[in-house]
């Protein structure tokens, strides 16, 4: 029997079309007799400007211009960047958050805003990766992905450095204004979408000012299932979840620029971005591995007396960035000089009072019995029953069927205040200068620069210390009573996933408000101290001072343009925290310093006017995240185990090479092929080893031989790949077909590193294939685009225990964007995202063992744009 898989066919068709387009572009380029045609339009005009910048760049870079961003239904900068070759995204509940360039871990991609390095902080301080969901795409004038480095760029970029460029008032002369408003709906749950933005600018001969603001909000329902397994691969828990989520992005930009004389420019710019995430989480975990009796199989089971845990919260997640930059660009005595002073503040907080319900260990009769069917492993069908006394004392059997979870029948309640706060403050001073000189009868552009970064990061990993006394038991002392069952509503879960039983939402917002009021009352009576919610071993304070200097030269040798030089960076780092051993808390401070050298060379061969060959080599670095290098640790002398951060980690150091061949085509077109290779030393990953030194010794106890659960440096690894890209409007076709165009790119990636146990493992996040394809039509005021993205399976987390490594299953995304210009000032738009109604799946070992299944549904938005 032959099976026809619609999605596989669609992927094959699109990949085939991309390949055919590349071949067509190459064939057309070889003919070399296509007349240069001037084209206009939103897509083509901005695409042409971006390609011109890319063509003239000294290094290997991909650029997306502002108007091109506006033609995609992308809300944040990560989604817009995902259109670039070999760029994929990590999503949280369907929303793009982190970038993975060339399949590498997100820590290998650094970010700058207007050329100033931006250090990210997440909920736990677990990574330096910058959160793109805090930066709306509408405030940006361009996105740049530098895939090879020049000495004037920070070396903290193993595979790429992303630069987010905000608007300058001199990009358009005179008064300009753009206002946009859109409304839409989320398919799952019927929540709203809304988007508003405005950008105003004015510039004269010498002075300019720009102001912009944006707001985006979505109310979504997230359907979620999670699973646990034992070492034999049998399920031990079914986790049934449903989230009601409100996510909001706000941003504001203010910039002024003054040009006192020709060749001189001064500016000041402030940018504020924030991401607010309010989540009501409803969750029931059926712990089938701990049932009183019954049969538990891989595809079906019948169990008696199954423990069930309910957990509920109204979590508030906040992330904001405040960035102030002043600077100047000057031409003085044959020198081109620039300077920048930047101050950046960031903060990421989590406030998550978690309410737990469960049955006591002695109350087997209260627990439900159940049978389950895993014919579809992603969607277990569960049938619930009462648990009845058996024929013998202390035994139990399956009783009468139940149609719903008894949401008020739990006899144990617990509140666990989960909190996290990570903040950073950094100053950056940067100066660059260049001039042309004649050396050995050859004109050479010499460049020099210095940069100093002073950073302080204070925070704590996400911590939930169980209170020494059950908090709910203290509520009567302040005149309060609390029963989570009282907050169950009459509204059933809005879900597209099968369950086999009914369940209603809990009013988490009201319950959390009452819990917080109760905690405040207890605190006023001295019965509760919120400072104890965070374990001392989870707290850290880190100071980093990075001094960098570089020298570079740009010159021509025959048809080649060469940019070569050396960057030197010195890091001084102080890490402070606490080590907890039993009830003893001891402060611990570790100081690190190192000096690293980063040579790089970029060679560009202008083989013809429209054919460019690029070769590049570089050394780069990735420093460990803040939470990872914290000195804080907890010590168990009973078990001989230390768990915590590792301040002795070495940075990951890489040598890399890049090559690309680019053919620029009429119709704002490009056909290119590129390859890259990265060799990485000191690969970071989580594992268990031996402490090996005296850093945790105290009170005469030698702990050097204790087991150490932390992040360690592994052996070397390698990452490599091939990238193909093609973009062009078919202006050579007869009307009306000359309005059609395509954009497509295809990346083939691979790599591995050696773990301490000697096995070869793939880098987490590396998909072997990433596809982006768009078909568009632009003519007579209409701009329409159908965009497709696909990436295949990738390892998410390497596991040294359990059933196997954690994978993310391949997924695709199909989006539609329509724009129509009513006149020069008024246009309307319609965007539709996730038309395939994608289900996001994670699995352990193989697809028969899913660990997470999630869906958020399709979404639509329509709106109006005014330009003056």
Q: What is the pLDDT of residues 714-769, one digit of tens each?
A: 778 899 999 998 988 898 899 999 999 988 889 899 988 887 667 788 877 788 89
The answer to whether 628 touches 607, Cβ cutoff 8 Å, is: no
Strand partners, 276: 248, 318
Band of residue 12 on the pLDDT scale cut at 50, 70, 90: very low
Lowest mean pLDDT among 15-19, 222-226, 431-435: 15-19
Lowest mean pLDDT among 201-205, 497-501, 713-717: 713-717
Does residue 800 register a pLDDT over 60? no
- Give the CA distances from residue 147 to residues 69, 263, 561, 675, in Å, rounded to whole numbers and listed in that order: 20, 31, 18, 11
pLDDT for the residue numbered 582: 72
pLDDT for the residue numbered 69: 55
pLDDT for the residue numbered 44: 56
pLDDT for the residue numbered 64: 76
For the chain, the C-alpha Rg in angstroms (whole number) is: 29
From the list 458, 246, 427, the residue with the least C-alpha distance to 340 is 427
Q: Which of 27-31, 406-410, 534-538, 797-801 has the highest mean pLDDT?
A: 406-410
Rounded Cα–Cα distance for residues 124 and 129 (Å): 12
Q: Which residue has the higher pLDDT, 638 or 800?
A: 638
Strand (E) or helix (H) holding 516 = helix 508-524
Lowest mean pLDDT among 265-279, 308-322, 743-757: 743-757
DSSP sequence for 585-646:
EEEEEEEEEEEEEEEEEEEEEEEETTEEEEEEEEEEEEPPPTTTT---EEEETTTTEEEE--
Residue pLDDT, tens place only, 101-156:
777 777 888 888 888 888 766 655 556 767 776 677 667 788 888 999 999 999 98
Rounded Cα–Cα distance for residues 584 and 698 (Å): 10
Does residue 283 register a pLDDT over 60? yes
Band of residue 378 on the pLDDT scale cut at 50, 70, 90: very high
pLDDT for the residue numbered 421: 85
pLDDT for the residue numbered 687: 66
Per-residue pLDDT, averaged over 228-233, amounts to: 87
Band of residue 631 on the pLDDT scale cut at 50, 70, 90: confident
Mean pLDDT for the chain overall: 84
Q: Which CATH number fits domain 6-381+414-467+529-867: 1.20.58.760, 3.10.50.40, 2.40.170.20, 3.40.640.10?
A: 2.40.170.20
Query: How do the residues of the chain divide into helix, strand and coil, expressed in percent and rounded to 5?
Result: 15, 60, 30
Lowest mean pLDDT among 97-101, 549-553, 858-862: 97-101
From the list 428, 292, 440, the residue with the least C-alpha distance to 370 is 292
- Give the CA distances from residue 277 to residues 48, 243, 711, in Å, rounded to whole numbers and listed in that order: 37, 12, 29
Query: 321: which 2 tokens?
Result: 């960035």
For the chain, give the percent of residues with pLDDT over 70: 87
Q: Where are the domains of the chain?
A: 6-381+414-467+529-867
Q: Which of 224-233, 597-606, 768-777, 793-802 has the highest mean pLDDT?
A: 597-606
Does residue 327 register a pLDDT over 90? yes
pLDDT for the residue numbered 31: 37
pTM for this entry: 0.85
């Amino acid at each position: 029997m032959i099976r026809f898989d619609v999605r596989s066919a669609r992927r094959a068709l699109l990949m085939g079309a991309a390949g055919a387009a590349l071949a067509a572009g190459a064939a057309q380029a070889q003919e070399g007799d296509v007349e240069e045609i001037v084209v206009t339009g939103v897509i083509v005009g901005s695409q042409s400007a971006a390609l011109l910048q890319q063509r003239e760049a000294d290094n290997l870079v991909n650029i997306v211009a502002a108007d091109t961003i506006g033609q995609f239904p992308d809300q944040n900068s990560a989604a817009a960047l995902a259109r670039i070759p070999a760029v994929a995204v990590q999503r949280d509940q369907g929303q793009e958050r982190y970038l993975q360039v060339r399949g590498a871990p997100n820590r290998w991609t650094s970010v700058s805003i207007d050329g100033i390095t931006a250090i990210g902080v997440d909920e736990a301080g677990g990574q330096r990766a910058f959160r793109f969901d805090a930066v709306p795409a509408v405030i940006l004038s361009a996105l740049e992905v530098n895939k090879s480095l020049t000495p004037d760029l920070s070396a903290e970029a193993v595979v790429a450095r992303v630069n987010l460029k905000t608007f300058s008032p001199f990009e358009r002369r005179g008064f300009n204004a753009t206002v946009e408003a859109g409304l839409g709906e989320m398919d799952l749950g019927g929540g709203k979408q809304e988007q508003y933005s405005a950008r105003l600018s004015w510039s004269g001969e010498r002075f300019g000012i720009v102001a912009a603001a944006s707001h985006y909000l979505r109310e979504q329902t997230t359907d979620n299932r999670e699973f646990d397994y034992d070492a034999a691969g049998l399920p031990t828990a079914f986790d049934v979840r449903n989230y009601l989520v409100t996510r909001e992005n706000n941003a504001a930009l203010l910039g002024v620029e003054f040009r006192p004389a020709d060749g001189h420019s001064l500016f000041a710019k402030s940018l504020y971005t924030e991401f607010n995430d309010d989540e009501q989480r409803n969750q029931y975990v059926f712990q089938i591995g701990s049932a009183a009796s019954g049969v538990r199989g891989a595809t079906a089971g019948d169990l008696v007396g199954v423990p069930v845990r309910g957990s509920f919260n109204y979590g508030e997640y906040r992330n904001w960035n405040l960035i102030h930059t002043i600077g100047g660009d000057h031409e003085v005595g044959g020198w081109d000089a620039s300077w920048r002073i930047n101050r950046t503040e960031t903060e990421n907080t989590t406030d998550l009072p978690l309410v737990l319900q469960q049955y006591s260990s002695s109350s087997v009769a209260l627990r439900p019995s159940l049978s389950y069917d895993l014919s579809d492993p992603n969607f277990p069908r569960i049938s619930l029953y009462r648990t009845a006394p058996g024929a013998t004392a202390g035994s139990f059997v399956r009783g009468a069927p139940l149609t719903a979870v008894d949401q008020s029948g739990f006899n144990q309640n617990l509140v666990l205040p989960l909190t996290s706060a990570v903040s950073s403050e950094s100053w950056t001073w940067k100066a660059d200068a260049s001039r042309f000189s004649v050396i050995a009868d050859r004109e050479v552009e010499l460049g020099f620069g210095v940069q100093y970064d002073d950073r302080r990061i204070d925070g704590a990993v996400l911590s939930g210390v169980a209170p020494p006394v059950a908090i709910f038991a203290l509520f009567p002392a302040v005149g309060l009573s609390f029963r989570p069952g009282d907050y169950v509503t009459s509204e059933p879960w809005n879900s597209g996933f099968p369950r086999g039983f009914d369940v209603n939402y809990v009013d988490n917002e009201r319950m959390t408000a009452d819990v917080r009021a109760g905690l405040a009352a207890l605190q006023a009576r001295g019965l509760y101290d919120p400072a104890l919610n965070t374990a001392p071993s989870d707290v850290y304070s880190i100071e980093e001072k990075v001094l960098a200097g570089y020298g570079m030269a740009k010159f021509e040798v025959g048809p080649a343009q060469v940019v070569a030089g050396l960057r030197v960076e010195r890091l001084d780092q102080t890490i402070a925290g606490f080590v907890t051993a039993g009830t003893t808390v001891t402060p611990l401070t570790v100081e690190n310093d190192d000096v690293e050298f980063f040579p790089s060379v970029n060679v560009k061969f202008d083989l013809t006017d429209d054919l460019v060959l690029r070769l590049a080599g570089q050394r780069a670095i990735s420093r460990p995240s803040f939470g990872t290098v914290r000195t804080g640790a907890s010590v168990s002398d009973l078990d001989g185990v230390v768990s915590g951060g590792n301040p002795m980690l070495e940075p990951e150091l890489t040598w890399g090479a890049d090559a690309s061949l680019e053919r620029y085509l009429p119709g704002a077109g490009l056909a290119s092929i590129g390859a890259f290779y990265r060799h990485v030393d000191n690969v970071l990953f989580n594992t268990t080893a031996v402490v090996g030194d005296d850093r945790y010794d105290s009170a005469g106890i030698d702990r050097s031989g204790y087991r150490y659960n932390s992040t360690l440096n592994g052996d070397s690894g390698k990452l490599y790949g091939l990238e193909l890209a093609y973009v062009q409007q078919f202006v050579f076709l007869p009307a009306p077909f000359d309005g059609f165009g395509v954009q497509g790119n295809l990346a083939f990636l691979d790599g591995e590193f050696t773990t301490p146990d000697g096995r070869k493992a793939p880098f987490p996040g590396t998909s072997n294939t990433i596809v982006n394809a768009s078909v568009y039509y632009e003519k007579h005021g209409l701009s329409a685009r159908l965009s497709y993205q696909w990436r295949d399976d990738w390892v998410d987390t390497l596991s040294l225990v359990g059933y196997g490594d954690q994978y993310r299953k391949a997924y695709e995304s199909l989006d539609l964007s329509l724009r129509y210009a009513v006149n020069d000032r008024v246009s309307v738009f319609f965007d539709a995202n996730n038309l395939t109604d994608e289900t996001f799946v994670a699995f352990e070992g193989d697809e028969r063992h899913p660990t997470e299944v999630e869906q958020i549904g399709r979404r639509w938005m329509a709106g109006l744009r005014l330009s003056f």
